[in-house]
Structure 1
């Protein structure tokens, strides 16, 4: 899979944890961004980036290439990753 995968998450979010576990099970490389671990300008910039993809800024927000998946939606992830 050549698409970049990025997940905006909170370290305390059970849905975020399940999404990351699922990506790990599928051997998908991804970049996790734990927004609650960021501070100051880095946090503000990351939230601004997140809101471009998901104005509600809810978690997890998963980017697969140019697709945006809000929440842990296994079927949508499988389709976006081409493993459906």
Structure 2
């Protein structure tokens, strides 16, 4: 990430960084109603792929009871399927 992102301070939050990577859903809001679409393919494809592969590996370890999974990850896996949790 350090090689691909020259200035991390340029992003106001993690969500803005995720949007730059293309990991946030496209917004189709109208009339005050928020409707989120599919995840866009904007941003750096290689970096996005590496982050998703890394997240998938951490999720597999948590699902098989290896290591010490974080509480937020366990809660996320209870709400969403593993493949969707990898990009959530």
- Hey, which of these two has a bigger chunk of helix by percent? 2
CA radius of gyration, larger in: 2
TM over 0.5: no
Q: In proportion to residue count, which structure has more strand? A: 1
Calculate the TM-score normalised by the size of structure 2.
0.26
